[in-house]
Amino acid sequence: MTNLSKQDRDEFERLYLRLLHQQSNAFFCVVVNTVMYQSEIAKQMKERFPAGEVQIVDFKFAENAFLFSPSTLIPQVEESTKILFLANFQLAQGDLTDVEFFQTLNLSRDILAELPYVIVFMMPMYYRVMVARNAPDFNSFFQYRADFISGEDLKPPEHDFKTINFGYSQANKELLEYYREKYSHLKNYESKDAFEVLVKILRLNVEVQILDLVERNRFFELFEKLFIKYQKDISDLIFDIAWIYFDNGHYDRSLELHLDAIEKWKNVLGEESERIIDAYTGIAWIYEDQGHYEKALEQCKKVIDVCENKFGKEYIETAYAYINVTSVYCKRGDYNEALKWNFMALKVIEELFEEDHPERAAAYNRMGYIYYYKGEYDETLNWYDKALKIDRNVLGENHPSVSVTYSNIALANFRKGDYTAAVRGLHEALSITEKKLGKRHRNTATIYENLAEVYYEQENYDEALKYYRKAFEIYKNTFGLEYSETLSIAGKIASITQQQ
C-alpha cells in the first residue's frame, strides 16, 4: 500500500489477520482521515481473500442522505459475501446534527447483528466521533476498531499511543482558574457579565485545555445561548468567539466570524495588525482541519508575507507563521516540505532564544514529531532528547512537560520495537503525572492506556489488562460509559479477556 505510511501498513496487516481469523458475524470500525483511502483499503483487502468472499458497498455518491439502513443494504449483498465493507456509510449528504439520522443508526444495530457476515464500517475520524457521541447504541457493538492516519495527522494514532496536552503557560492556567471561580460566584448566569466571563473561560481553555469534556460542553451550550442574545454588543470579542467556535468543531461558524471580524476591523486596525494576522491564521487552521490544504497554505503564506514585511524574517511572529505552514504540510503527508519550513522556524528560534529556553524545546519536539512520521526513529529520539534536556534543566524533573517528553520518547522506542525502553519511559512519565495531576486525571488515563498497548505487544496480557482497566475507570467516571474512548477500551478489555 504505497500511499499509506508504515504504521498504516502495519495496521492494515493487523486488520487483515483479524478478518482472516474471524469465524462468526462481527462488527469492525475502520477510521480513515482521508476519504479517498477508504476505497483503496477496502479494495486491497478484498484482493487478499478468495473471489466473492469480500464485497464493498460505497455510499459516497448516494443521493439519499439516509440510504444506510438494513432495508436498503440487504438487497445489495451478494449471496457469497462473508465480509462486507461499508465505505462512507455514515452520510453522503445532509446535516451531521440531524437527530433522525442517528436514531436510524441506533435502531439499525439489532437488525444488523442478525446478518450472517462480518461488517466493516469505514468512516473519517470526525464522523466516528459524531457517531460515538450521538448514536451510542450503534457505536457500542464495534468489536474492533482500526485507525489509518494516512499521513494526515501529526498526532499519534488513537488506536496506539495518545498525546497529552498539559498546556505551556502557567499564567493562562491561573487565569482560567480565576475566571472559573469568578463564574461560580455570579448571581445571574445569563447576564452580559456572565457571558463575557464564559468567553474568557472557553477562550483560555483553547490555550490550556484542562476543562473536562462535560464541563466544557455545559459552558459552551450556555455560551451559544447568550451569544444570540448579546452578539450585537460584543464586537470587541468577535475574535475570541471565533476561536471558541473553532475549538468546539463549528468550523463554518468560526470561518464566518473570522471573515466578519476581518471586514470590521481591518480598516480600524490596519491590514498588518496582530489581530488581523491572528484572523488569517484562524482561517488557515479551519481549512487545515477540514482537509483543504491548498486553501490553508494560501492563508498561511498571507500571514508570512505580512510578518516578513512588518517584522522581518528573524522575528518570533514570523517563526510562528513558518510553524503553521509546517503543520499543514505534515497533515498533507509532505514531511520533507514540513522539515524545510520547520528548520526555517528553528533557525529563527535558535537565534532569538538562549540554549535552555522552552521555545527551543518546543521546536525540537516538532522536529521529533516530523521525523517520527517519516519513520526515522533514531533521528526522532535525537530531537526528543534535546527537548528533554531543556525541559529538565528549566522546568525541573517533575514538571508535566517533562512527562510529555518521556511519553514521546517512549512512543519512538515502541515504534523501533524496543518495548523495554518504551515501558521504562512511560513509567517515568506516569510517576510525574500521578504526582502532579493525580491518579484520576485524563492524562493519567492516557499513560495507562499507552502502557497497556506496549504490554499487549509484548503478549504480557495480565499487565495490559491491568492498565486498560485503570484507564477504563477514569474515562467511565469522567465522561461516562457512552464516551468513545470508554467504549474503545471496553472493547479491548473484552478482547483480551476472551483470549485468556
| pLDDT over 90 percentage in the chain | 18
Is residue 372 within 8 A of residue 411, CB to CB? The reply is yes
Three-state DSSP at 120 gives strand
User: What pLDDT is stored for residue 138 in this prediction?
Assistant: 73
Each residue of 182-234: pLDDT tens digit? Answer: 888 888 888 888 898 888 888 877 666 667 667 778 888 888 889 888 877 77
Q: How far apart are CA 451 and CA 459, in angstroms?
A: 12
**Report for 57-61, 132-136, 144-148, 261-265: range of highest mean pLDDT:** 261-265
Q: How far apart are CA 499 and CA 27, in angstroms?
A: 18
Is residue 89 within 8 A of residue 122, CB to CB? The reply is yes
Tell me what the pLDDT averaged over the chain comes to: 79
The interaxial angle of helices 461-479 and 442-457, nearest 10 deg, is 160
Is residue 15 within 8 A of residue 30, CB to CB? The reply is yes
Q: How far apart are CA 50 and CA 53, in angstroms?
A: 6
User: What pLDDT is stored for residue 154 in this prediction?
Assistant: 30
Domains of the chain: 6-148 (3.40.50.300), 161-233 (no CATH), 250-352 (1.25.40.10), 380-500 (1.25.40.10)
Q: How far apart are CA 125 and CA 30, in angstroms?
A: 9
Q: Among 424, 427, 431, which residue's Cα sits nearest to residue 398?
A: 431
Q: Among 8, 345, 281, 47, which residue's Cα sits nearest to residue 148?
A: 8
Q: Taking residues 352-371, what's their average pLDDT?
A: 88
User: What pLDDT is stored for residue 368 in this prediction?
Assistant: 92
Q: How far apart are CA 84 and CA 57, in angstroms?
A: 7
Is the whole-model pTM more than 0.85? no
The answer, yes or no, to whether residue 304 has pLDDT greater than 60, is yes
User: What pLDDT is stored for residue 406 in this prediction?
Assistant: 92
* The three cell numbers locating residue 240: 475570541
User: What pLDDT is stored for residue 157 in this prediction?
Assistant: 30
Q: Which residue has the higher pLDDT, 9 or 408?
A: 408
Band of residue 375 on the pLDDT scale cut at 50, 70, 90: confident
Each residue of 78-93: pLDDT tens digit? Answer: 888 999 888 766 543 4
Each residue of 318-332: pLDDT tens digit? Answer: 898 999 999 899 888
Q: Which residues pair with 123 in a beta bridge?
A: 31
Point out the least confidently predicted range of 201-215, 234-248, 376-390, 426-440.
Answer: 201-215
Each residue of 28-60: pLDDT tens digit? Answer: 778 776 556 677 788 888 888 889 999 988 776
Q: How far apart are CA 304 and CA 309, in angstroms?
A: 8
User: What pLDDT is stored for residue 65 in this prediction?
Assistant: 44
Each residue of 256-289: pLDDT tens digit? Answer: 888 887 887 777 776 677 778 888 888 998 888 8
User: What pLDDT is stored for residue 300 in this prediction?
Assistant: 92
